[in-house]
Homo-oligomer: A and B are copies of this chain.
Amino acid sequence: MNQDFETLKTKLAAITDLNLAASALGWDQATMLPDLGADQRGRQLATIGRIAHGMLTAKDTGDLISRLSSWANKQPAEDFDAALVREARRLRDLEVEVPSELNSAMSEHYSKMYSAWTTARPRNDFATLKPLLEKSVELSLRFADCFPNLEHPMDSLIQYSDQGVTVRSTRQLFNELRQQLVPLVKSVTSAKQLDGDCLSGEFDELAQLDFCKLVAKQIGYDFQRGRMDLSPHPFMTRLSGGDIRITTRARRDDLTDCLFSVIHEVGHALYELGIDPKLDGNLLAGGVSSGVHESQSRLWENCVGRGKAFWDYFYPVLQNQFPHFKNINQSTFLAAINRVEPGLIRVDADELTYNLHVMIRFDLECQLLEGKLAIRDLPDAWNALYKSDLNLDVPSLKDGCLQDVHWFSGRLGGAFQGYTIGNILSAQFFDAAKAAHPNLDAEFSKGHFATLKSWLNQHVHRWGASLTPDELVKRATGKPMTIEPYMSYLTAKYSRLYSL
């Protein structure tokens, strides 16, 4: 057994090294790559992916896993060695089902599609993208065919990002959430609106980055184990346990885009930085699911970063860095960064309406994969949902169904549910942390964020991918995922802000 385990562990570590190398190439591609380097970078990534896939699906890897599985299944959930075997089995079981021919066809299609999208979107050019989207639906269905035992075609995609989640469970969750969220959105949008004018101005980009670095450091990001660079779309990436990078962007006319992106990405980074070093260099060293990962970014971005206590500490620092805010009250600023305003663009959405955007996409994905909606009818279906759910007319496709990179750069289906699961879990984790440490707000006002970070390290981060998301949530909060803490958080916050 011991010998088998060591052999397997070494194999998995090599696969992890390849995955991390691919992440490094991906980071470079997003931040550094010269214009004409993209083609061959794509080929290098494909080669590394193919080799890693080959190593995981190889027969001898499978044999080792089989020999170790009955032992692993008998160990407690928190046994890291057993968890490694279980995770290897889970990942391998997924990968062996998908023929490499389909994997290659997908990579090739998504890369072609992404490059078509970058030029077609600004031109509202649906005609170019329509056949590509149709092909995406076809590929997703072929992918679903690899997993004939799953109930819904999209379950085959969801299991990659959010293990344990299905279309059925998501629908139930979303229905419940929608029932409570829609009335709250209505109350807020019918109340007296908050003013966001104080955020308009010109803000030197380098000063923005300086301020963001200061915030990142103060809330616990470790620049000795990471760095912050610029990229068109902000992201966080793990290149190793000692190298967890974040990116952002800075626009002269928008301070909050850069700022909240950084807090968001730092939330993701703190998760990765907090993983038990014993897991480092192998498959379990990473976030366990999209939903749990997003819970960490949204917790810091929203529950902490848009809260009064956070700005009790940081607002004077901001005023000092940007004289623009000298004569603006902290409460005016706080109202501005929290105001609710239904809009067309998901990534610009406020905390309250954000989930409506997610649900629209999830519903449409389901319908597309169920064959109930054809791509040619997607724009109309999209626009109809924006009218019914957000009371908005969609004036152009680029701000409509062509807006999200997800549908135009990867598998159609299975990505969006994680955003709302993340929002729900952010409040559930934050509640549990506050229950354990009732003085968090007082600490935040003094610039101390270490108690919260430690709680998250202890109850969420350190496990990496060794516990299932469900098990992790239960251990950390004492109960399965539930929307109550999230709805209480939203209701309390917006009742106060909008005097409901």
- Shortest distance between the CB of A184 and any CB in chain B (Å): 42
Chain B hits for A32, CB < 8 A: 32, 227
Q: In the complex, what residue of chain B is closest to A27 when comparing beta carbons?
A: B28
Q: Nearest Cβ distance between residue A43 and chain B, in whole angstroms?
A: 6
The answer to the question of A443 belonging to the interface, with a C-beta cut-off of 8 Å to chain B, is no
Q: Are the CB atoms of B48 and A18 closer together than 8 Å?
A: yes
**Residue pair B21, A25 in contact (C-beta under 8 Å):** yes
- With a cutoff of 8 Å between Cβ atoms, the chain B residues found around residue A47 in the complex are 13-14, 17-18, 21
Is A183 part of the contact surface with B, judged by Cβ < 8 Å? Answer: no
User: Which residue of B is nearest A242, CB measured?
Assistant: B36
State the majority secondary structure of interface residues on A: helix
Is A28 within 8 A of B17, CB to CB?
no
What is the chain B residue whose CB lies nearest that of A50?
B14
A37 touches B239 (CB 8 A): yes
A374 within 8 A of B: no
Closest to A41 in B: B240
Nearest residue (CB) in B for A241 is B40
Stretch at the interface among A137-145, A218-226, A304-312, A360-368: A218-226
Of B18, B39, B242, the residue contacting A37 (CB under 8 A) is B242
Q: How far in angstroms is the closest Cβ of chain B from A8?
A: 16
User: Contact between B20 and A240 (Cβ–Cβ < 8 Å)?
Assistant: no
Instruction: Tell me whether A33 and B281 are in contact (CB under 8 A).
Output: no
Q: In the assembled complex, how far is the CB of residue A26 from the closest CB belonging to chain B, in whole angstroms?
A: 11
Q: Which of A64-101 contact B (CB under 8 A)?
A: none
Q: Which residues of B sit under 8 angstroms from A48, Cβ to Cβ? A: 17-18, 21
Is A243 within 8 A of B41, CB to CB?
yes
> Residue among A24, A223, A224, A226 with the most chain B CB within 10 A?
A24
Q: Are B43 and A281 in contact (CB under 8 A)?
A: yes
Contact in complex: B21, A243 (CB < 8 Å): no
Complex: A242 Cα to B39 Cα, angstroms:
8
> Chain B's nearest CB lies how many Å from the CB of A33?
7
A180 on interface, CB distance cutoff 8 Å: no
Contacts of A227 in B (CB 8 A): 32, 34
Q: Chain B residues near A245: list those with CB within 8 A.
A: 34
Complex interface bits, A8-23 against B, C-beta within 8 A gives 1, otherwise 0: 0000011001101100
Any B CB within 8 A of the CB of A280: yes
Name which residue of chain B comes closest to A240, CB basis.
B40
Cα A37 to Cα B239 with chains together (Å)? 8
* A-B CB contact pairs (8 Å), 30 listed: A14-B47, A17-B43, A17-B48, A18-B47, A20-B40, A20-B44, A21-B21, A21-B25, A21-B47, A24-B24, A32-B32, A32-B227, A33-B243, A34-B223, A34-B224, A34-B225, A34-B245, A35-B224, A36-B243, A37-B239, A37-B240, A39-B242, A40-B240, A40-B241, A40-B242, A40-B280, A40-B281, A41-B243, A43-B281, A44-B240
Interface residues, chain A, CB within 8 Å of chain B? 13-14, 17-18, 20-21, 24-25, 28, 32-41, 43-44, 47-48, 50-51, 223-227, 239-243, 245, 280-281
Query: Top 4 closest A-B pairs, CB basis?
Result: A37-B243, A40-B240, A36-B242, A17-B47
